[in-house]
Amino acid sequence: MGHDRDVDRSSDRDPSAEEGRLGASDGDATPRVLRSFVDAVPTPTLACDPETHEIRAANATAADLFDRDRGTLTLMGLEDLGESETTVAGDSIGDALDADGVTRFEWSVASAPTRRLELAVRAATIAGREWLIVGVTDVTDRVTADERLRSQLRLVDAVAATIPAAMFECTTRGTLSRWNERFAADAGYGGEQLSGAALTSLFDDESRAAVTDSLQSVYGDEASVQCEATLVTRSGECVPYRLSLGPIVDGDRVVGAVGVGEDVTEASLREERLAVLTRVLRHNFRNDLNVVRGFTERAVAAVDDPTLATELERVVDTADRLLRVGETSRRVERLLADQPAPGPIDLAAAVDEAMAALPSELRGRADIETEVPAGITVSAVGYLAEAIAELVDNAIRHNDAARPSVTVTAAELPSESWTSLVVADDGPGIPPAERAVLTGEETPLEHASGLGLWYVNWIVSAGGGTFDIGESKTGGTRIEIELRTADEA
């Protein structure tokens, strides 16, 4: 009730005297109530004269932000704080401050280093007169992050415009958000037509599921995937297309997908034509060589001249060698088409399989000794037995001895977590041109005469192993294959 009496008494006071009391100052024209109001605001705040834009009050957080004491700030005009007389948008600071209502603008402030501030300005009546109340927010970090992002986007755009491949970006909903000109050209659509379009809508019904599954793998498993699909252009043309998709990760979540597209029409046609060419050539090659071999054997049996018979036998041997090259080329083609992945293989079983695959005629005219401990498992592709058989086959066929000797041994190398498999013989050794298969020193005039070593090398390399040619203790050839043990692969 005492409060009510005070109110009642105040009604008898002179309003002008009350205004003078509230507006009492500390020796200048700034009312104390204005300073109290500004001090009560928790964020950086200034009060300015609406006519001159002079700063008349500043709170402690504003003083900290501008790194000046409040007394210094109140001796300055608001425009004195900035390094430019215009806002970031290019408007005059004076016009921005004099605008009606609440005005927001960004401004660069001169300090070390230069900072970007956002000012929110509004007029307010305090202690009987109008003031400009200026709220200040430091947005330097946000602006720096935005500029860094824009710089990264400019780099991505430059890369996307430079590389000869179609590139695009999808949202988490699978809709297109960005792409380069190559992708738009492949699809045959303009930018306004691609914007927001579902990636899957660009492909035919039969391959759309493959694209959907690939996107789900990207978003759900954060996996990078490839798929083959048929792109349907705006004109209705069906284009064989290869997609490579990967996740865009922000922290611990996928926020989109990036993709590279490739029109594989020419590659598909080339592979198809090469396959036909290879099949026809191999068929004719084999048939014609068999005819040559058959007639030559008949000629050998019919002639009485020993010299001529020897020459004809060389024709038979050459035909046999070419037939083996043709067979090896078929196996190489199969290997390259399969693109096998390495897996655990029992080495002793692989050697046994290789020995069983040798022609019985070869096994019968050579001494073959194997010494492969049981229980050794290596990381290799499923063609390992064929590689071992090829090495033993070569060791026998190219040996001038009356009864060739070949040894196949294996040993674990615990210190290196590798296993060594050695095929050694007592033959004449491999010519330098053949060894150049592994060193890359071949020239057009000096090249390997067969595919056997290439085939073995590709099988070993596909399994992550190494392949080396040396000299055996008997002066023949020593070929060592090193493969990782399965536990260490």
Q: What is the pLDDT of residues 4-51, one digit of tens each?
A: 333 333 334 343 343 444 444 444 568 999 999 999 999 999 999 999
Summarize the confidence of residues 85-92 as an average pLDDT: 87
Residue 55, Cβ density class (10 Å: 0-12 exposed, 13-18 middle, ≥19 buried): buried
Per-residue pLDDT at 487: 66
φ/ψ region of 304 (left if φ > 0, alpha if ψ in -120 to 50, else beta) reads alpha
Do the Cβ atoms of 225 and 203 come closer than 8 Å?
no
**Where is pLDDT greater, at 82 or 163?**
82
Residue 403, Cβ density class (10 Å: 0-12 exposed, 13-18 middle, ≥19 buried): exposed
Per-residue pLDDT at 344: 94
Model pTM score:
0.47
Do the Cβ atoms of 479 and 468 come closer than 8 Å?
yes
Summarize the confidence of residues 341-362 as an average pLDDT: 93
Q: Nearest-CA neighbor of 234 among 176, 191, 171, 179?
A: 191
- Confidence class of residue 73 from pLDDT cuts 50, 70 and 90? very high
Q: How many CB atoms lie within 10 A of CB 470?
A: 13
The two beta strands, 418-425 and 466-471, are unpaired
pLDDT for 274 beyond 80:
no
* CA within 13 Å, CB half, 449: 10
pLDDT for 352 beyond 90:
yes
Q: Nearest-CA neighbor of 485 among 356, 358, 370, 343?
A: 343
Residue type, 236: G
pLDDT for 156 beyond 60:
yes
CA distance linking residue 424 with residue 306, whole number of Å: 35
Per-residue pLDDT at 355: 94
Q: Nearest-CA neighbor of 166 among 153, 152, 176?
A: 176
Token match 């809508």: residue? Answer: 201
Summarize the confidence of residues 163-182 as an average pLDDT: 90
Q: Which of 3-12, 15-24, 149-158, 251-260 has the highest mean pLDDT?
A: 251-260
* Element of type H or E holding 356: helix 347-357
Per-residue pLDDT at 354: 94
Q: How many CB atoms lie within 10 A of CB 14?
A: 8
C-alpha angle 356-402-426 in degrees, rounded to nearest 5: 70
**Where is pLDDT greater, at 158 or 124?**
124
Biggest distance spanned by C-alpha atoms of the chain = 152
Q: Nearest-CA neighbor of 362 among 328, 334, 335, 398?
A: 398
Per-residue pLDDT at 448: 43
Per-residue pLDDT at 7: 36
Q: How many CB atoms lie within 10 A of CB 336?
A: 10
Per-residue pLDDT at 226: 93
Instruction: Using a pLDDT cut of 90, give the percent of the chain over it.
Output: 44
CA distance linking residue 397 with residue 427, whole number of Å: 9
**Where is pLDDT greater, at 364 or 454?**
364
Whole-Å CA distances, 468 to 303, 395, 406, 423: 45, 15, 17, 11
Summarize the confidence of residues 212-227 as an average pLDDT: 94
Per-residue pLDDT at 289: 78
Question: DSSP string covering 294-308, please?
Answer: HHHHHHHHH---HHH
Residue-wise pLDDT for 429-485, tens only, equals 877 766 665 555 554 444 344 577 888 888 998 889 998 888 888 888 899 999 998
CA distance linking residue 479 with residue 397, whole number of Å: 16
Lowest mean pLDDT among 316-330, 343-357, 392-406: 316-330
Q: Nearest-CA neighbor of 182 among 269, 266, 263, 268?
A: 263
pLDDT for 206 beyond 90:
yes
pLDDT for 145 beyond 90:
no
What value does the mean pLDDT of the chain take? 83
Q: How many CB atoms lie within 10 A of CB 329?
A: 18
Summarize the confidence of residues 393-410 as an average pLDDT: 90
Residue type, 102: V
